[in-house]
Amino acid sequence: MQTILAVLFALLAALSNALATVLQRYAARTVPLSEGLRLALIGELLRKPVWLVGFGAVIAAAAFQALALLNGELTLVQPLFVLELPFALFLAGVVLHRRLPPRGWTAVGCMVVGLGMGLWAASPSGGVNRPHAALWAAALPACAAAVLLLIAVAVRRPAGRVRAGCFGAGAAICYALTAGLLKDATQAWNDDGAAAFFTAWQTYGFALVGVAAVFLLENAMQSGPLVASQPALTLGDATVSLALGVTVFEERLRGGWYIVPMLLGALLVVCGALVLVRVPLIHTLVGPEAADGAEDSAGAR
């Protein structure tokens, strides 16, 4: 029963995140194309009502995600967030009265089949509710170093695929780390009540890292095409979450020949995501300047 609840809440969280994606990307189209790491970008977006509604959907997604993580393993919950991209395109189609082309539906099918195959093969189980502090002490600096390295590479590149991909990958690491800290903090509430939740360092950790994730995501959307940033975000989140689930929460995945369908499932998800970010409907969710600039940069390289 707990597994079913975890999957249900994870899907609701992915749907809420998809709604936030549609609204926030629509708002991001109305601000100038970023030429660097813009600290003022969030301030500009806060003045956009559509972006604020989207941020409300982010809060709802966090609540659903907390319930999912309370009922299931990190290695089960976070990979389900790859469905955020198909959900986002479906919602965008409804809002903008556009249809997803046949190849788009084929790509969605590939992602769903690949995700199902991968999770079946991995069969996440076990794990601890509250990881040892020493494990967090090792994981946090590693994640922070990776994010800082990606930012350093991104800010040295012009607008285009590389910069968007680096910002997207940085956001993915932050989102995965946010999920891990959220799971730990939520378990503290479940075990010892609200006081434990609000006095746990993990609570303030996931809030801080979550803000960093949103900031990096907004810069990724302003830096280049979704074909670079969205796969890095979607697949990076799942990959880093699996790593944190195994190393920090000591969750177990099946090995042996099950690795083959796991890899095949991941390949299907990757192929589906790469097709989806090329469908025409995607271009309604990004600014024309970003798309044009990205294509020019790609052509120059």
Block residue for tokens 């999912």: 68
pLDDT (tens, 9 = 90+) of the chain, 301 residues, equals 788 899 999 999 999 988 887 777 666 665 555 544 555 556 666 666 777 777 788 889 889 999 999 898 999 999 998 898 888 888 878 777 778 888 889 999 999 999 999 999 999 888 888 899 999 999 999 999 999 999 999 998 888 889 989 999 999 999 999 999 999 999 999 988 999 999 999 999 999 999 899 889 888 877 877 777 877 887 888 889 999 999 999 999 998 899 999 999 989 998 998 888 788 776 665 544 444 443 433 333 3
pLDDT number for residue 46: 63
Residues in Cβ contact with 277 at an 8 Å cutoff, skipping those fewer than 6 apart: 85, 225, 226, 227, 230, 231
Is 249 within 8 Å of 187 (Cβ atoms)?
no
CA distances from 177 to 133, 186, 194, 242, 276 (A): 15, 14, 22, 11, 26
CA distances from 230 to 127, 166, 254, 291 (A): 29, 11, 28, 14
Residues in Cβ contact with 49 at an 8 Å cutoff, skipping those fewer than 6 apart: none
- 89-127 tens-digit pLDDT: 888 787 777 788 888 899 999 999 999 999 999 998 888
The values of phi and psi at residue 181, to 5°, are -70, -35
pLDDT number for residue 181: 94
Q: How far is CA 198 from the centre of its chain?
A: 25
pTM, to two decimals: 0.80
CA distances from 232 to 72, 235, 240, 271, 277 (A): 24, 6, 11, 13, 12
Q: What does the DSSP assignment read for 127-167? A: --SS--HHHHHHHHHHHHHHHHHHHHHHHTS-TTHHHHHHH
pLDDT number for residue 126: 80
Block residue for tokens 């995600």: 65
In angstroms, the CA 2 to CA 108 distance is 27
Strands 125-126, 251-252: pairing is antiparallel
pLDDT number for residue 293: 41
